[in-house]
Structure 1
């Protein structure tokens, strides 16, 4: 069933129990995205939420440039005391059927732990999104670094992506900017002698977490970390073999064998 606003306090408690985010962080998510994001829940016998998931709007773009409506299934979780009883499986089925009726043709999710890849495989999801993660020390470089608005960052990102990828609507990109800026970082254009990069970054203590760096350019990550006063940069980019996300066709639409997910949520 779909969640209503009156369910949000209980869903916030469930979210916190499963992921550890603060109440303020979860409430900010609801405030920014609840109106454009279907939220599904399955109730326990006592009426409390047993499982939940959010279906963030997105598009899955193929190698040929054609885009199909997709849903990024986010914050998929089951109450700790109710796990192992099929609540997540049934909720996924209900949500997928409802999304298909709305014309959504693909579902995408990012398992919180590597062990969950096998769990979701049982429900028809397969690994499509891979990545590579590296860490480099901060270093002053001959780079031009310019903060970008979500629209400017999206335009630069789309220029960098020629293969299959997930594309995000404005609401999600504004949320990514909010997350980035609240940590002391943001969305950037980085020009080196050889490349023009787009980066979405967040600070985590002395480490700069570059959630997306396109194209792959360690020099750009190192320079951004130096500019923001971080000791090192951990950056994620395309072209790796590390399993990262999964996808499922809801209507028989062929899915890419491999695609790029991007930074917006995980």
Structure 2
């Protein structure tokens, strides 16, 4: 590895962390700064400093809990947005940042470490560092928008969290903190969507490529998720709604150490 110092971030690092994130992931300044504003209440970060400059960063979101169907609660650390400046890639900084961010998460009480690799090839990379493997799978589905579908109501992050807990009270689930949900609300609103109630269920949705993308859709028992998705598409003014549901034979999703997250766990709200 280069002469990089791997350490926990400090407040003075934020401008460089923001610039690096925008350059690597091409996210908007508003979205990135919204995350960084909430970070002190949501988790922490590891940074790589080279000659006084931030050359890389990785984030540890700790505002999540795994709740079993019987009510057992375990705290989670979610590794997110591992970024290294182009001129320092291949030097081992990404690995060192990932290891350090996991350590920071454990220092903050995380019992489970997980992540969502940006592409399928990265599952193997994270396995060599964290020992994680794909723990959950999901299926991508589509629905044509339908204005005659159930009405849609915008929700605050607190309202969304309360409804989410009520809908999933008897199931194994990830329970996000209020701050984590607040970032999800800001993320969705930045991209033309938000948090919603519809047809007795809830959705976190945004606009992408002229479609309504529903990153979480939880429908009450007996309700067709496609009906809610169709209503969300109409609400956001698109002809198509894309949504995801848990599916054992679906595409790889969340990665964790084998055995730590049950395959029937409802997660959905990831940082992606």
TM-score computed with the length of structure 1 as normaliser: 0.88
What residue in structure 1 maps to residue 242 of structure 2?
A: 234
* 2-structure distance, mates of 1:53, 1:91: 6
Q: CA deviation at 1:142?
A: 3.9
Whether the 8 Å CA contact 2:67–2:73 is kept in 1: the answer is: yes
Partner SS state of residue 172, structure 1: helix
Tell me: CA distance 1:185–1:100, structure 2 relative to 1, closer, same or farther (3 Å): closer
Whether the 8 Å CA contact 1:148–1:188 is kept in 2: the answer is: yes
* 1-structure distance, mates of 2:196, 2:37: 25
* 2-structure distance, mates of 1:142, 1:208: 15
Q: Does 1:211 align with 2:215?
A: yes
1:48-90 deviation line (CA, Å, top 9, x unaligned): 2233111112112234321111112121122222222221222
**Farther-moved stretch of structure 1 (178-187 vs 228-237):** 178-187
Whether the 8 Å CA contact 1:62–1:256 is kept in 2: the answer is: no
Stretches of 4+ aligned residues off by more than 6 angstroms: none
Whether the 8 Å CA contact 2:79–2:101 is kept in 1: the answer is: no
Correspondent of 2:166 among 159, 163, 167: 159
Whether the 8 Å CA contact 1:201–1:212 is kept in 2: the answer is: yes
What residue in structure 1 maps to residue 257 of structure 2?
A: 248
What residue in structure 2 maps to residue 139 of structure 1?
A: 146
Q: Does 1:109 align with 2:118?
A: no
Whether the 8 Å CA contact 1:164–1:256 is kept in 2: the answer is: no
1:179-236 deviation line (CA, Å, top 9, x unaligned): 2233332211211xxxx22111112253111111113611111122113321210111
* 2-structure distance, mates of 1:163, 1:126: 22
Q: CA deviation at 1:35?
A: 4.7
Whether the 8 Å CA contact 1:41–1:91 is kept in 2: the answer is: yes
Instruction: List runs of 5+ in structure 2 lacking aligned partners.
Output: 1-6
What residue in structure 2 maps to residue 182 of structure 1?
A: 190
Whether the 8 Å CA contact 1:32–1:175 is kept in 2: the answer is: yes
Q: Does 1:225 align with 2:233?
A: yes
Q: CA deviation at 1:8?
A: 1.2
RMSD between aligned alpha carbons? 2.1
Mapping of residues 121-132 of structure 1, within 5 Å: 121-123=127-129, 124-132=131-139
Partner SS state of residue 98, structure 2: helix
Correspondent of 2:201 among 174, 185, 197: 197
* 2-structure distance, mates of 1:166, 1:237: 15
* 2-structure distance, mates of 1:35, 1:263: 17
Whether the 8 Å CA contact 1:209–1:233 is kept in 2: the answer is: yes
Partner SS state of residue 213, structure 2: strand
What residue in structure 2 maps to residue 11 of structure 1?
A: 17
Partner SS state of residue 237, structure 2: coil
Instruction: List runs of 5+ in structure 1 lacking aligned partners.
Output: none
Correspondent of 1:55 among 57, 60, 65: 60
1:127-155 deviation line (CA, Å, top 9, x unaligned): 11221111222123341322222222112
* 1-structure distance, mates of 2:92, 2:262: 29
